[in-house]
Structure 1
Amino acid sequence: MDAGGETDFNMEEWPFYWLTRFSGRYLQQMELALKPIGLDVAQWRVLMALRDRERLSVSEIADHAIAKLPTMTKIIKRMESDGLVACTPRPSDQRVTEVSLTPEGEAASREAWAAANRIYARTFEGVSARDVASLNRLLRTITRNIVL
């Protein structure tokens, strides 16, 4: 397929078509899985960014979650009022707000992770670990390329 031309275009041969369909379906499944836990996808992204880290700045979380800083600030403020995260100024730079999970946030993170793992297992059933690793490498490469 000629990526730059318009001749012989077949939507199902366009990788962005499949990436968009997959992303949309994945988000639908995550919304359904998170709702009983009392979370949404935006909160899930914050919890996962903090999952294996003691703390991150709001801008670091926004970067991981691919969200605009003002949007992420609102999400984190809501999570703080819900008792899921704690916000403190960074000792070395008081202008930077650092976010960490509270015990309630850690519990919510574990529940959300279990739900996400069920979706992962169903989605990648019959796909080898080698193929998953190849997919990750390919997605990492094209993600880097798209922002150049």
Structure 2
Amino acid sequence: MTSERARFQRGVLVRTDGEAEAAIPSMGEIGLQQFAPYLLNRISARWNANMAEALRAHDMTTTKMRILAVLSISSGLTVNELSVFAVTEQSTMSRTLDGMEEQGFIRRQPRPDDMRVREVHITEAGRSAFARVWPMVYEMFVRMFEGIDDDEYQAFAKTLHKVLANIRRHDI
């Protein structure tokens, strides 16, 4: 990535090339409705609030649902890997995993080739718990993208992957 900033068609991102700061648009010129980080935060906050409310009826938290979702696809992750994929702080992850282990949703075991590393695995009870909430999660996902066709969704996801690559701190 170069130090130069790319230019969007609407001038939201401008090339500075070391020129005076006056060359960059102000927040007022961009506007909140065109400032992607603001929009991403609003969407994420609303999604998380709606999800937390819907999951309460299933005696589940958003963090537990994320952990079960990740493990349903890729069981045997370390706590660090799971923290990244489930977008959860490691301290919160450890406490949540303690409770999930007591509920029988997950089990932690040493990695066969390195006994110092513990892997987290989903259990059948965990798979069943996730299967109960997945239809509701999927319905919320579909509603969120109402009026957006498949090509738009694919372009949106591709753009998000590029943005994630630009700000990523982890390889995963």
TM-score (norm 1): 0.91
Q: How many residues in Structure 1 have an aligned counterpart in Structure 2?
A: 148
Map 1:42-53; keep pairs closer than 5 Å: 42-53=63-74
Larger radius of gyration: 2
Shift of 1:17: 1.3
CA RMSD of aligned residues (A): 1.7
Shift of 1:130: 1.2
Shift of 1:2: 4.5
Matched, 1:97 2:126: no
Give 2:79's aligned residue.
Answer: 58
Q: Distance in 2 between matches of 1:38 and 1:115?
A: 13
Give 1:38's aligned residue.
Answer: 59
Shift of 1:50: 0.5
Shift of 1:71: 2.4
Give 1:146's aligned residue.
Answer: 167
Give 2:45's aligned residue.
Answer: 24
Q: Distance in 2 between matches of 1:146 and 1:98?
A: 27
Which 5+ residue runs of structure 2 have no aligned equivalent?
A: 1-10, 14-23
Q: Deviations over 1:20-47 (max 9, x none)?
A: 1100111111112211111111111101
How high is the sequence identity, in percent, across the aligned residues? 26
Secondary structure in structure 2 of the residue aligned to 1:89: strand
Q: Distance in 1 between matches of 2:76 and 2:136?
A: 23
Give 1:131's aligned residue.
Answer: 152
Give 2:104's aligned residue.
Answer: 83
Secondary structure in structure 2 of the residue aligned to 1:66: coil
Shift of 1:85: 0.7
Q: Deviations over 1:62-107 (max 9, x none)?
A: 1102223232111111111121111111111111111111221111
**Structure having greater relative contact order (Cα 8 Å, sep ≥ 6):** 1
Regions of 4+ moved over 3 Å? 1-5
Matched, 1:116 2:132: no
Q: Which amino acid aligns with 1:144?
A: A
Secondary structure in structure 2 of the residue aligned to 1:88: strand
Q: Distance in 1 between matches of 2:12 and 2:47?
A: 29
Secondary structure in structure 1 of the residue aligned to 2:109: strand
Which 5+ residue runs of structure 1 have no aligned equivalent?
A: none
Relative to 1, partners in 2 of residues 1:100 and 1:147: Cα closer, same or farther, differing over 3 Å?
Answer: closer
Give 1:70's aligned residue.
Answer: 91
Shift of 1:123: 1.2
Residue range with higher mean Cα deviation, 133-142 or 9-18: 9-18
Q: Distance in 2 between matches of 1:62 and 1:122?
A: 27
